[in-house]
Structures are given as structure tokens and as C-alpha cells.
Structure 1
């Protein structure tokens, strides 16, 4: 097998976001049940070193500011040699599923995030 396909990196970002939410005790599923979704509205991705099939990668996720009607996550992907493979960011909006209009970050999530920053 050769290089990891470039489209996989956004999947790595998504898996890191979901795992981060789970780690801080927040359920994305519950958020959806409450009528709010978080679609990705922008991405940025820079490749530094190729990743290969079977490489062990670590995704480091950072939240640099409190969310409002959107939240921005930064990512750094490293390999088992601690070499930077890629970096990037995603911007997600909070949307009400009934009318597809932006809403502020839910209080339940904001309270958890404020304890972390």
C-alpha cells in the first residue's frame, strides 16, 4: 500500500472531534436529539510529510476560543516518530434543525468548554 489518500485527513479530523466531545462528557447524538447540528462550514488542511498505509497517527485537537454561533478546531497530525504529517482546522456552525438557522453554542456545551479553557 502507498500513501494515505488526502481525503482521509478530514475523516481523521472528524474522528478526533467526536472523540474529544466524548472525552469531555458531551454527546453529539444528544445535541442532534435536541434539534441542533454542527455542519462543517470551512476547512483548512496543509500536508507536511506523507503518511503511509499502516502508519500509527495521532491527531492533536485544540480549541483556541469559546464558541459562539460557530466553533473552530485546530488539528496537528503526527506519526509514530513524532513527525508532523499534517495540520489544519475546521469551522463548524451550530444550526437549528427546524429552520436551518444559526444558533449560539448550546449552554450545556459552553459550560463544559469554559471549564477547559
Structure 2
């Protein structure tokens, strides 16, 4: 598991002063990048090698709102690896808040070539994603 911190900016909130629901997917994306970096890799390297990991499914369950200036902890892990796909799961907590997540979610990613054809995940990438940081 990798933990990323992100501060809620004013532009992330709606008229009610809470984080707009779609912005949690941006936090998931940020945390995925941090997950790769914590393990010595990056999306950029994958793309340089001709591979992409588009999101093919995304879900979020909202339990409690985050607000402007909150520092959020996004806990991320790879929960499933298949031949041509992988799944990230997320829990978002308010720093200094309770042990109950504000939001939980998951994204499923297909491994595809630049041409969009399904491609087997390279073994080196699978090892990198599953090793402890």
C-alpha cells in the first residue's frame, strides 16, 4: 500500500463547500501516479515502452464529505492483477480524522498497445506493482 497526501483546493469544492464527487477520481489518479513512483516506476516509462493503462471501469462510494483545505490521505494498492488488466483500490481519509474512510473506490485498467490492442502486462511491471515500496 502507498499513501499519498493531497490538500483540497477551493476549485475542488461545489456550492455546498464540499469536494465535488468527480474530483475524487482525480485524487485516485494522483495516488496511482504516486504508487508507481513509490515503486521506482512511472506511467511515462510505460508509455515510452508503447503500453498504456486506460481506465475501463471506475467506482466510488461516498460516506462523508471532504471540505476546502482538508488534507486527504489516499491509500492505494493493487488488489488484482490479471493477464491484461489490473485493479487499484483506494481509501480516502481526512488527515487527523477517524479511521473510517470518507470515500472508497477502485479502478480497473486494461493494458493496451499504442494501437489499442490488449497486451499482456510485462512481468517486470507486475513485480514492480506488487512489491513493497
Q: Which of 70, 93, 103 in structure 1 is aligned with 2:110?
A: 93
What value does the CA root-mean-square deviation take over the aligned residues? 1.4
Q: 60-69 or 88-97, which moves further after superposition?
A: 60-69
* Cα separation, 2, equivalents of 1:58 and 1:114: 20
Once the two structures are overlaid, the 10-residue window that deviates more, 75-84 or 42-51, is: 75-84
After the TM superposition, which residues 76-91 of structure 1 pair with which residues of structure 2 at under 5 Å, given as runs? 76-80=91-95, 81-82=97-98, 83-91=100-108
1:73 aligns with: 88
Question: How far apart are residue 111 of structure 1 and its match?
Answer: 2.5
Given the alignment of the two structures, is residue 102 of structure 1 paired with residue 118 of structure 2, yes or no?
yes
1:66, distance to aligned residue in structure 2 (A) = 2.8
Tell me the residue number matched to 2:45: 30
Deviant stretches of 4+, over 3 Å = 113-116
CA drift at 1:114: 4.5
TM-score (norm 2): 0.80
Structure 1 unmatched ranges of 5 or more: none
CA distance in 1, matches of 2:45, 2:75: 24
8 Å contact kept, 2:84–2:121: yes
Pair 1:114–1:19, CA change in 2 (3 A): closer
CA distance in 2, matches of 1:16, 1:72: 13
2: distance between equivalents of 1:60 and 1:114?
Answer: 15
Uncovered stretches (5+) of structure 2, i.e. residues with no partner = 1-9, 11-16
